[in-house]
Each structure stands twice: as C-alpha cells, then as structure tokens.
C-alpha cells in the first residue's frame, strides 16, 4: 500500500477519534462514540500492517508483531473484564503507565534502529523523558491507590524540590548529549533512568486524597508522550491523538484542582492543610450539639418528605453500599418521593468515579446531579442523606475564612430542612478538621457502618408504610 493511501487512512482514523470523543458529550451517544474510536484504531493498525516496511519485513517480523498483539490483547481483555468499578482509578493508572512506557520504548527503538535527524533526536529525548516519568509516576500512583507499599500520606523530605529540579537538569543534560551525538545509546538509557527516578519522586509527594489530580495529570503526560513519539516518527496521527489526550488530562486536572480549591503546585508538593495552623478543636465544635438518631426516627422523617437528596462520598464505595442506597431510593420513589443524587467533583477517587459506581448500581443517570445543578435545590429539599462524605459538605468552606478548606466549593446540604449523616464516628475527613455540619441544628447523626445503616433504614421505611 502506498504511503499516500496509508496517510489518508490515518486521517480517517484521526477524524474517528475526534468524533468518538465528541460522542462522550452525552450518555446516549457515548457507547457509539467509543465504538467509533475503536474502529479508528483498527483502521490505523490494519493500515500500518499493510505498510510495505512491515508487510515486506519477512515472516519472522510479522510473527513477532502477531505475537505481541495477541499477548497484549489477551492481557488487556482480562484486565478490562475482571476489574471492579471501585478499582477503576487503579486501572487507569496502569493504562497510563503502559502508555508512557510504550512511548519511551518506541523512542528507544527508533534511536537504535535508525539514524535519527537532529529534530527526531530532540523528539526522542522528549518522548523518553515524558514516557519514563509517566511510567514510574503511574506505578507509584497505582501503589498508593491500592495501599500496597507506600503510605497514603505525602512522602516529603527536606530538599525534595531542589533535588527534583536538579534531576530535571541532569535529564536535560543527557538529552543534550544525545542530540549532539545520537549514537550514544548510553545517554538515552541514562535519560530514561533519571526520568524514572523523577517520576517516583514527583508522585510520592502527592497525598492519597489528591490521587484524582495525580491520575488526571499522568493521563495528560501519557498523551504528551504519544505526541512526542509522533514527532519522532513524523507521524500525524500520533501527534493528533497525543495532543487530544494531553488536552483532556489537563482539563480534568484543572477541574479537580478547582473542586478542591487548591493550586496544582500546591497539590504537587503535597502540602495539604499545613498542620501548624490553629484549627478549631473538635470538642468545642461538637460539645453537646451533636444529636444522635435511629433508623426508626429517620424513617418517620422520610415518611413526610417530598424531596430527598442522597449525598454519597468515597466512604459509600468503601462499604460497597451503592446497591443498598439505590434500594432505599427505589422504596422512597415508589411512595412518590422525588429522589436525586448530589455528586461532588471529588466524591470518588478519580474524576467522575462516583457516577460510574452509582450507574453500576442501576441508578438512572438523569438523577445524578452535578454540584452546580443541585446546590440551588437544597433549600427546597426536605431530607438530605449524607453517606461516607465529610469535607465536601463542610460549611466551614463557605463561612469560615480561617478554615484550611476555606473557599472550596461544597454541596450546600446544610440548607435542606433536615440532614441525616450516616457515619461510623465523628472522625475527621481527609482535611483532618472538624465539620460543623455534624453539630448543626437541623442535623441528625446516624452512627454505624454505611451499608448496615442503609439496610436498617430501608427496613424501617418499609415497616413505617
């Protein structure tokens, strides 16, 4: 097949990718969008296989390619089918790692297999550096999400930032060496090694609660790595696709930072709520003001309610109570109660995670409301049920300028007539600060395990009717 034909097929594939992402603008068209993207990928791969360079490479070359594709496809399929929805952040972290790793490997392959031009060598340096940072950074993120080796808290040490800066300079130094003399593969190996260390150092300083930002950022890096590989190969489709993914990751990173009211720099150095700032003592906030309730009492409240809003946080997913919450909502709806779900942007462990978890529990997507949509409706809400969420409903963010989370956008549940908080204890959330909502006049605390509490509540509501 001629290069012109192949390039035209690549162009068609690029258009399919863009149409595919556009399909994701609505749940109705999203499945088809994903199919379009997959079709584009298949086209691009088939066109590449028909490239005379590949097709004419002899039986052994073709055999290697088929083996690689079969192996990768089998692993990918197993991962995709087995992964639990709660572990989706880990899945994306692994995919980010592989994307970055593949880019660094391809750049290395081009370096040893051809005599790259100066321009291509610069791109090889970019691809190798971004790729290796993405690879190890994503593996660290994976580890933190799983809670395997590294602590959840940010790992910081004195001189960390200067060290990162220095490593960056060293990497660029090896890069410059490679550009001057592209035959020095040692320089590339050293570049990748330094990049790998840098990836680890840049990610261990990010706290477990900030992983949504880290994952979105690494997603962007994996796209940029692919785009650099496009510059290495002078290949348009890699550049187009890589920049789409790069843009997507940056947009999501910005959304996540805004939802936590933190700057990206602040997230990266892991400096959450400096501990020496005097925060209010938990006792003075809660003393004598916290009202404990029972499932029966809440059932009576729900009996007269016309509108109920469920406010899930990550704790809901931890106790796997999504299905029970949906059952409770179904019982309420069967009695004519309007039920909606309020989803804070950082309610899960990655952008949009909570929506997926609730969709898995068969909640109609029309009932999943974004923060800006649902906040004006809390004033007309009879009962809000907060389950497994803490900082994202803390009114201090709105009212107390001295609070470490001051200015963070929150769900205004305190404005509803009654608030039920389902929680094990009064322990603080990620920000480590007390929550005045729990001591609010209209708040009732239902202490216990999330899943059991919702089950009890559903039974009590049924008995009441």
Partner 1 sequence: MDTFIPLLTIFMLAVFVGFEVITKVPPLLHTPLMSGSNAISGITVIGAILSAASPNRLTVILGFAALVLATINVVGGFMVTNRMLSMFRKKD
C-alpha dist (Å) from residue 397 to 3, 113, 304, 374, 437: 58, 57, 31, 17, 11
List the strands of the sheet with 418-423, edge to edge: 368-370, 338-343, 307-312, 383-387, 418-423, 443-447
Based on DSSP, count helices (H) and strands (E) in the chain, helices before strands.
19, 6
Q: What are phi and psi of 367, to 5 degrees?
A: -90, -10
Q: Which stretch binds partner 1 (CB under 8 A): 101-109, 151-159, 281-289, 318-326?
A: 101-109
Q: Which of 143, 362, 391, 441 is catalytic?
A: 391
Shortest Å distance, C-beta 363 to partner 1 = 9
Respond yes or no: is residue 391 known to be catalytic. Answer: yes
Assess 180 for contact with partner 1 (CB under 8 A): no
CB–CB of 242/228 below 8 Å?
A: yes
Which secondary structure element, helix H or strand E, spans residue 96, and what is its range? helix 88-113
Bridge partners, 341 (sequence order): 310, 368
Assess 11 for contact with partner 1 (CB under 8 A): no
d(C-alpha 275, C-alpha 272), whole Å: 8
Read off the tokens for 361.
């529990």
Positions 113 through 152 that interact with partner 1 (CB under 8 A): 113, 118-119
The site that binds partner 1 (CB under 8 A) totals a number of residues, namely 113
Which string of x and - marks every residue 232-261 that binds partner 1 (by CB under 8 A)?
A: xxxxxxxxxxxxxxxxxx-xx--x------
Tokens 């580890």 belong to 143
Shortest Å distance, C-beta 180 to partner 1 = 16
Read off the tokens for 387.
């389950």
Q: Which stretch binds partner 1 (CB under 8 A): 102-110, 169-177, 381-389, 437-445?
A: 102-110
Positions 283 through 342 that interact with partner 1 (CB under 8 A): none
Which string of x and - marks every residue 368-407 that binds partner 1 (by CB under 8 A)?
A: x-x-------------------------------------
Assess 8 for contact with partner 1 (CB under 8 A): no
Q: Which of 1, 12, 43, 62 binds partner 1 (CB under 8 A)?
A: 62
Q: Which of 227, 342, 413, 455 binds partner 1 (CB under 8 A)?
A: 227
Assess 359 for contact with partner 1 (CB under 8 A): yes
363: nearest Cα among 384, 341, 347: 341
Q: Which stretch binds partner 1 (CB under 8 A): 198-206, 216-224, 395-403, 414-422?
A: 216-224
Q: Which of 86, 96, 384, 390 binds partner 1 (CB under 8 A)?
A: 96
Bridge partners, 307 (sequence order): 338
HEC-encoded secondary structure of 355-389? HHHHHHCCCCHHHEEEHHHHHHHHHHCCEEEEECC
Nearer to partner 1 among residue 255 and residue 290 (C-beta): 255
Assess 25 for contact with partner 1 (CB under 8 A): yes
Assess 65 for contact with partner 1 (CB under 8 A): yes
Nearer to partner 1 among residue 341 and residue 430 (C-beta): 341
Q: Which stretch binds partner 1 (CB under 8 A): 87-95, 140-148, 169-177, 385-393?
A: 87-95
Read off the tokens for 362.
């068969």
- The residues annotated with a catalytic role in the active site are 391
């Amino acid at each position: 097949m001629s290069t012109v034909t192949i390039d035209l097929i690549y162009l068609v594939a690029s258009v399919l990718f863009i149409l595919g992402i556009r399909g994701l603008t609505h749940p109705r068209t999203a499945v088809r969008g994903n199919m379009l993207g997959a079709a584009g990928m298949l086209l691009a791969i088939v066109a590449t296989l028909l490239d005379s360079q590949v097709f004419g490479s002899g039986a052994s070359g073709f055999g290697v390619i088929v083996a690689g594709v079969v192996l990768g496809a089998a692993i990918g399929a197993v991962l995709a089918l087995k992964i639990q929805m709660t572990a989706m952040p880990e899945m994306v972290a692994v995919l980010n790692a592989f994307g970055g790793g593949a880019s660094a490997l391809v750049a290395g392959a081009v370096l040893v297999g051809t005599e790259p031009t100066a321009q291509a060598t610069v791109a090889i340096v970019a691809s190798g550096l971004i790729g290796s940072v993405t690879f190890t950074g994503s593996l660290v993120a994976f580890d933190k999400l799983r809670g395997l080796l590294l602590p959840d808290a940010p790992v910081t040490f004195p001189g960390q930032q200067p060290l990162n800066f220095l490593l960056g300079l060293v990497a660029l130094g090896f890069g410059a060496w490679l550009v001057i003399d592209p035959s020095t593969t040692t320089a590339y190996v050293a570049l990748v090694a330094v990049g790998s260390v840098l990836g680890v150092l840049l990610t261990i300083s990010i706290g477990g609660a900030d992983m949504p930002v880290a994952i979105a950022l690494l997603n962007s890096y994996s796209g940029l790595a692919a785009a650099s590989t496009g510059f290495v190969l002078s290949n348009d489709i890699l550049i187009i696709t890589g920049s789409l993914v790069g843009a997507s990751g940056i947009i999501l990173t910005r959304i996540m930072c805004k939802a936590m009211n933190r700057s990206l720099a602040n997230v990266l150095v892991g400096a959450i709520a400096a501990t020496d700032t005097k925060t209010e003592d938990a006792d003075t906030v809660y003393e004598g003001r916290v009202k404990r309730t029972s499932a029966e009492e809440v059932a009576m409240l729900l009996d007269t309610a016309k509108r109920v809003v469920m406010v899930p946080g990550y704790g809901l997913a931890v106790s796997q109570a999504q299905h029970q919450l949906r059952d409770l909502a179904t019982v309420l709806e069967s009695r004519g109660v309007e039920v909606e779900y309020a989803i804070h942007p950082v309610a899960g462990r990655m952008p949009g995670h909570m929506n997926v978890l609730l969709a898995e529990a068969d909640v109609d997507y029309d009932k999943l409301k974004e923060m800006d949509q649902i906040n004006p409706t809390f004033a007309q809400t009879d009962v809000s049920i907060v389950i497994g969420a803490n900082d994202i409903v803390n009114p201090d963010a709105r009212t107390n300028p001295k609070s470490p989370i001051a200015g963070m956008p929150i769900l205004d549940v305190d404005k509803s007539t009654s608030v039920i908080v389902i929680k094990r204890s009064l322990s603080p959330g990620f920000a480590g600060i007390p929550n005045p909502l729990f001591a609010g006049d209209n708040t009732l605390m239902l202490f216990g395990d999330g899943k059991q509490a919702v089950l009890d509540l559903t039974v009590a509501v049924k008995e009441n009717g």
